[in-house]
Structure 1
């Protein structure tokens, strides 16, 4: 059975739509439709019911889906392992936006110095997206917030973050939490800290990046929690009022992780590497 046809089938089943699957796979809708028809011809069963809003799996399709997902995952795993079967010639690194500012540059410098033979690729996103990319073999390693919970992911190295509650020196900070995005770990940490302070009637305001957040805190528009390294990097340690957050209240380590079955050849190096600039 052609694994490429199964890959298309799995994507259509996930999206419940030919058009959305085509967009995800970066092919035409006609291409997707033809591949589904080819797969249905090969197994002599219809896999989808066509409905006005998209497609739904038939009973046969429901039975095939878990098997198809397993085959597609095995092909991805084999491809990944064969790519580095002799040596680690490439490494796709995922990183959260905050860690890009804190540790990614030091890592790149060390890798270029100690393993110049490795071709590096970089991807930045949030922890949820990076976790999914690891599971789908789209990145080899990733810096995420907190230890991984998925059974197929393992921890290579953990970095502690000194978290600071940041307020304006000049103005009384409004009861407003300033954050990067709703799913940002530090944004959620701010909410936990507000609860610890007994503040429940607060507003939240999302902003484009950490530098903008810090500037707005200085102006008295609100408060936030960020790692000390980010506050220091942007030169705000002496511009704002800071309170160290006890780890018993909230703790967000940065964790370097990978798949259990896709451990980089240089994993020992990565476990020992120091990223202090």
Structure 2
């Protein structure tokens, strides 16, 4: 059912006149007559009785009138809401565990201060899985490690990371690379780096607990690649040997190019 035809119907019903309805809508009388006929044809009922003094609603017209009022009101309310909406009611956020540890709490606090009515939904996963979630429209934005370099992805912001190789100070580490989660980009980059540097293979272990990983490294059971902020947060800065990495593993805040959130400008300036 065409809402524009319903608007014409309501104007004629309210004024009880084709000519007055046309005047109210700033249409020609013939245009209004044509549209009423189109509506009657689509519904299969006559909606007005034509009289010498104007028009009167038929029984079918009387039944349609309150329905048409409700439909038009809902359309106008929806249009007004969308025109005045400057942020999403729900923002679905994906993040790696490292970002959830060092960045997400402050990010959430700032969003809550600036957009108190906006609801947030979260998912924690590896970088590769988060990129897939963004591409599948399952999250609106995601904090991922490294440049995703994908044609369908828009980069909203970049957060610089101080990435360090973490080793025990006084022990020769075993050939194990610790990561938080399987498929972690940190683990993949570190493995590639160590194999090239030391010409030997490493096994990997996902422990899903940063403090446990740091203590395993401290005890000589292996090595890990972390943001310096995480090492500092858990109090291991002075306990461990830290080596700065030459490669870049900054955090990228991303979304789909064809699904950019309404708060994108805000996110770009954070």
Q: TM-score, normalised by structure 2?
A: 0.65
Correspondence 1:30-109 to 2 at 5 A: 86-88=85-87, 89-109=89-109
Range 198-207 or range 135-144, more displaced: 198-207
SS at match of 1:237: coil
Separation in 2 of the partners of 1:84 and 1:140? 18
2:267 alignment partner in structure 1: 270
Give 1:121 shift. 1.1
Deviations 1:51-108 (A, max 9, x none): xxxxxxxxxxxxxxxxxxxxxxxxxxxxxxxx97734222111111111112111100
Separation in 1 of the partners of 2:125 and 2:103? 15
2:54 alignment partner in structure 1: none
Change (3 A) 1:264 1:202: closer
Deviations 1:210-233 (A, max 9, x none): 221111001111111111111111
1:238 alignment partner in structure 2: 238
In the alignment, is residue 191 of structure 1 matched against residue 191 of structure 2? Answer: yes
Give 1:128 shift. 2.0
1:208 alignment partner in structure 2: 208
1:35 alignment partner in structure 2: none
State the Cα RMSD in Å: 1.9
**Rg comparison, structure with higher value:** 2
Separation in 2 of the partners of 1:117 and 1:194? 48
* 2:86 and 2:263 in contact (8 A); partners too: no
Unaligned runs of 5+ in 1: 1-82
In the alignment, is residue 152 of structure 1 matched against residue 146 of structure 2? Answer: no
1:252 alignment partner in structure 2: 249
2:4 alignment partner in structure 1: none
* 2:178 and 2:206 in contact (8 A); partners too: yes
Separation in 2 of the partners of 1:263 and 1:96? 20
Correspondence 1:165-180 to 2 at 5 A: 165-180=165-180
Separation in 2 of the partners of 1:201 and 1:262? 42
1:5 alignment partner in structure 2: none
1:122 alignment partner in structure 2: 122
